[in-house]
């Protein structure tokens, strides 16, 4: 008898708790509302929404009903969403892991596609700076605390002998350039090391941007700079009211995809810039990224983006 009463009591508590968990529609709607209940072309809520224009092909991503706009730009896309309007002040170009470790020919000889993406990336940097959008460098940059909390799968993935003595933040020795210059590689993907700096012409481009205030640099300790509940990158995006992210880098199916999918999960507009990204993985890995990025957001090519921006100056 006692056990029956106790069970009924627990079920009553569980029912109450479940009701509190699941019956939240009214309170959420009261807080966030909808962008416009009477307009079926608006998807989202008052704080975060897209609007499909009357031509049925252009998506307005500016959130202009609640946020000021400066000089919105119309950008052609490659996927099934064929065009988007962006607000430059709330748009950024994210460059992921285009570091010496992943792109230098003597450290990553098979990163041919990644190196091909460098010039389009530099072109996008100039174009986005020109319209007042931020450039976000999101790179591996491990410190001693990261090593303590790093999962074993990550440690092994970056080890050459399945041991701690070749994983993150272990000395990589030296590299001799073709001109005879010897370079101290430093600790593997550790903050401040040469191998963790952007490769080739990307490095001075980054320095220039950081000095002028057009660029920001974010260290990450996982594939994504947006993993978990909050990160420095996530905090910046939130506080700066950034809503739209054009994303490129290497490897497209690994760290680029990790950042893109986390940004998508967190409610940002994601635009995969296909010619600003590359991978050493098989061709079908790249196809996976393009296919899913098209469904999750937008596909773009830097040539068409820059051409459109030049015409709207």
Q: Could you tell me the residue ranges of all domains in the chain?
A: 1-32, 73-141+191-311
% of residues, the chain, pLDDT over 90? 84
Most confident of 10-24, 27-41, 53-67: 53-67
Give the pLDDT confidence of 225-268 residue by residue, as tens digits: 999 999 999 999 999 999 999 999 999 999 999 999 999 999 99
- The predicted model gives 50-73 an average pLDDT of 94
pLDDT of residue 159: 96
- 19 pLDDT tier (thresholds 50, 70, 90): very low
pTM for this predicted structure: 0.89
Classify the phi-psi angles of 221: left when phi > 0, otherwise alpha if psi is within -120 to 50, otherwise beta: alpha
What pLDDT was estimated at residue 248? 98
pLDDT digits (tens, 9 = 90+) for 276-288: 999 999 999 999 9
What is the model's pLDDT at position 4? 58
Q: Picking from 3-7, 56-60, 139-143, which range would have the lowest pLDDT averaged per residue?
A: 3-7
Look at residue 12 and tell me whether its pLDDT is greater than 80: no
Statement: residue 275 has pLDDT above 80: yes
- Out of 1-5, 113-117, 174-178, 244-248, pick the least confident: 1-5
Q: Give the separation between CA 63 and CA 252, rounded to whole angstroms.
A: 29
CATH 3.30.420.40 fits 73-141+191-311, yes or no: no
pLDDT, position 229: 92
Q: Are 190 and 169 in contact (CB under 8 A)?
A: yes
Q: Is the per-residue pLDDT at 31 higher than 70?
A: no
pLDDT top residue among 27 and 98:
98
- Three-state SS string over the chain comes to CHHHHHHHHHHHHHHHHHHHHHCCHHHHHHHHCCCCCCCCCEEECCCCEEEECCCCCEEECCCCCCCCCCCCEEEECCCCCCEEEECHHHEEEEEECCEHHHHCCCCCCCCHHHHHCHHHHHHHHHHHHHCCCEEEEEEECECHHHHHHCCHHHHHHCCCCCCHHHCCCCECCEEECCCCCEEECCECCECCCHHHCECCCHHHHHHHHHHHCCEEEEEECCCCCCCCCCCHHHHHHHHCCCCEEEEEEECHHHHHHHHHHHHHHCCCEEEEEEEEEECCCCHHHHHHHHHHHHHHCEEECHHHHHHHHHHCC
């Amino acid at each position: 008898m006692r056990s029956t009463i106790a069970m009924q009591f627990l079920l009553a508590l569980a029912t109450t708790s479940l009701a509190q968990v699941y019956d939240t529609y009214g309170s959420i709607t009261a807080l966030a509302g909808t962008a416009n209940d009477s307009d079926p072309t608006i998807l989202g809520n008052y704080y975060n929404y897209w609007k499909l224009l009357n031509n049925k092909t252009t998506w307005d991503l500016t959130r202009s009903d609640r946020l000021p706009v400066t000089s919105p730009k119309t950008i052609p896309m490659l996927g099934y969403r064929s065009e988007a309007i962006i607000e430059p002040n709330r748009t950024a170009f994210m460059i992921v892991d285009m570091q010496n470790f992943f792109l230098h020919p003597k450290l990553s000889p098979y990163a041919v596609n990644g190196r091909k993406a460098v010039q389009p990336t530099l072109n996008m940097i100039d174009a986005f700076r020109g319209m007042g959008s931020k450039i976000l460098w999101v790179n591996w940059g491990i410190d001693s605390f990261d090593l303590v909390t790093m999962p074993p799968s990550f440690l092994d993935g970056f080890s050459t002998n399945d041991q701690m003595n070749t994983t993150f933040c272990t000395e990589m020795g030296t590299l001799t350039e073709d001109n005879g210059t010897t370079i101290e590689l430093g600790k593997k993907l550790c903050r401040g090391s040469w191998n963790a700096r952007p490769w080739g012409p990307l490095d001075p481009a980054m320095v220039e941007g950081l000095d002028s205030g057009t660029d920001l640099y974010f260290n990450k300790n996982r594939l994504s700079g947006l993993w978990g509940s909050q990160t420095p990158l996530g905090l910046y995006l939130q506080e700066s009211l950034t809503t739209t992210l054009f994303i490129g880098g290497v490897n497209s199916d690994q760290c680029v995809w990790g950042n893109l999918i986390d940004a998508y999960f967190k409610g940002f507009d994601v635009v995969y810039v296909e010619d600003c990204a590359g991978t050493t993985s098989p061709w079908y890995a790249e196809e996976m990224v393009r296919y899913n990025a098209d469904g999750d957001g937008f596909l773009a090519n830097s040539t068409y983006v820059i051409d459109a921006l030049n015409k709207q100056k």
